[in-house]
Structure 1
Amino acid sequence: MLVDSHVNLHGEKYEDDLDEVLARAHEAGIGAMLAISDQLSSQPAIQAISSAHEHIWHSVGVHPHHAKDYPELTAAELIELARQSEAVGIGECGLDLYYEYSKLSDQEPVFQAHIEAAQELQLPLIIHTRNADDQMQGMLSEADQVKPLPLLMHCYTSGMSLAQKALELGAYISFSGILTFRKADDVRAIADMVPLDRLLIETDCPYLAPVPHRGRRCEPAHVVHVADKLAELKNVTPEEIARVTTDNFFRLFSKADRSKALVT
């Protein structure tokens, strides 16, 4: 069994064929998924998908792109939403200085609210970070001094130094279809460095379709190609990657009931 640890199934990309997408995922051996929150206004749609499928869990959070839209967001609000909806993680949240759809001054307090919510609930903090290595390392180091918390560096494309620091803080690191891209040698080098017991895989669908599907809509079934590339990098079998990444997912997201995963 494989787990796709980061899917974006709500919204127009899948509104016409979600059932078929999920059937293809099952056929490909994907037994569990984590539906990710991009903003609080998406929660009803995300929770509806999660509620309809026992093997799909969900998170609560605000992507840094949308930080400007939630200037008053508090940890207490995130905590209440997570408890009410039985979320298994906090995020996707973090810092993005590549697109900067929200100013850093808007992103930092929103990210801090997520940190404090995850600390209180001891739920994994699902982190998006792009072109913000120094700022991210600083905020995570400061948070760890207050109260350690479970961390997941999602769809990792940042530098080696931040990856090493995150591992020191106990983080897991997840890789997407970017691993298969021709020019992604830096990402592959970091994946090769991360210990097997800290690795997760994802699609981040509908984005970042791996080779041989690049340029098309991504879907959870494609996580098979991420697992195969990771097995190649680690010089282990795809079955070993499936085993360890599935074990890692359920260890990190301990509120996700493994018995609900589909038999594949």
Structure 2
Amino acid sequence: MLIDTHVHLNDEQYDEDLEEVIDRAREARVDRMFVVGFDTPTIERAMKLIDQYDFLYAIIGWHPVDAIDYTEECEQWIEELSKHPKVIGIGEMGLDYHWDKSPKDIQKEVFRKQIALAKRVNLPIVIHNREATQDCIDILMEEHAEEVGGIMHSFSGSPEIADVVINKLGFYISLGGPVTFKNAKQPKEVAKHVPLDRLLVETDAPYLSPHPYRGKRNEPMRVTLVAEQIAELRGISYEEVAEQTTENAERLFNLKK
């Protein structure tokens, strides 16, 4: 039994075969999936999916790349939708300095606003960080994000950064496909270093497909390959990784077993 804590089943890449993708995940014993909506269309689709499937849950927020499009109306809409019992988190939010669509100051402002929103609705947050690690951590600390807790999604930082995130913010570290890449030394070190009770697994599907499917469309059944790699790196059983990461997700998002 596994939980894919970050998947985009609301992506257009699944328009033709969503049912089959979900069936394959369930057959692989991925029994719950958290669908992330990060702009108007993907949030709308995420909300439809969680009403359609009892094992899907939604995390909704505003992606930093699109921060320039964030309005007060967007915020009010997300806050209202967050009252749905199957909306379990706010995000993905954060900072992305790779793309230049949204200026850094606007990204930071929208990031802070969403942390405040998460506090109002008392839900954990999911952080997107690309080439902005120190600024991300600074804002999380300044805004006391430890009050709601959350995830560093698709974590790509060092073991030392993971320690800061865990020990100072009480956050969880989520690993996906890159931990299986042969040349990915740092994710493998993180997989061995982070306490097992602070680890989560994800696919970020349809992106970041694990080895040996790198470069192909990802899907949630492949979160099993992430868990297998973590188990191998840590020298423990797949079952132990599956059981503990599931328990971690249930704890963070206040889900019943």
TM-score tier, shorter chain, comes to over 0.9
Partner of 2:120: 120
Q: In structure 1, what residue type is equivalent to 2:155? A: Y
Answer with 71-80 or 186-195: which moved more: 71-80
Partner of 1:148: 147
The alpha-carbon deviation at position 162 of structure 1 amounts to 3.0
CA offset digits 1:204-224 (Å, max 9, x no partner): 000011011112110000011
Give, in whole Å, the separation in 2 of the partners of 1:174 and 1:248.
11
The alpha-carbon deviation at position 110 of structure 1 amounts to 1.0
Answer with 73-82 or 195-204: which moved more: 73-82
CA offset digits 1:130-182 (Å, max 9, x no partner): 111111111111122x8722111101012344322110111011000100112
1:212 matches 2:224:
no
The 5-angstrom pairing of residues 57-76 of structure 1 reads 57-72=57-72, 76=76
Q: In structure 1, what residue type is equivalent to 2:164? A: K
CA offset digits 1:52-99 (Å, max 9, x no partner): 110000011011111111154675553222115741000011001122
TM-score computed with the length of structure 1 as normaliser: 0.92
Aligned identity (percent) is 37
Partner of 2:171: 171
Give, in whole Å, the separation in 2 of the partners of 1:135 and 1:102.
15
State how many pairs are aligned: 256
Give, in whole Å, the separation in 2 of the partners of 1:101 and 1:29.
39
The 5-angstrom pairing of residues 31-70 of structure 1 reads 31-70=31-70
Distance change in 2, residues 1:161/1:130 (3 Å): farther
Partner of 2:234: 234
Q: In structure 2, what residue type is equivalent to 1:148? A: E
What is the RMSD of the two structures over their aligned residues, measured on CA atoms?
1.7
The alpha-carbon deviation at position 28 of structure 1 amounts to 0.8
1:194 matches 2:194:
yes
1:99 matches 2:65:
no
Higher RCO (C-alpha 8 Å, min separation 6): 1
CA offset digits 1:87-126 (Å, max 9, x no partner): 1000011001122332211211111111011122221100
Structure 2 counterpart SS, 1:102: coil
TM-score computed with the length of structure 2 as normaliser: 0.94
Answer with 95-104 or 238-247: which moved more: 95-104
The alpha-carbon deviation at position 257 of structure 1 amounts to 4.2
Structure 2 gaps, min length 5:
none
Task: Work out whether residues 94 and 129 of structure 2, in 8 Å CA contact, stay in contact via their aligned partners in 1.
Answer: yes
CA offset digits 1:12-69 (Å, max 9, x no partner): 2000000000111111110000000121332221111111110000011011111111
Structure 1 counterpart SS, 2:83: helix
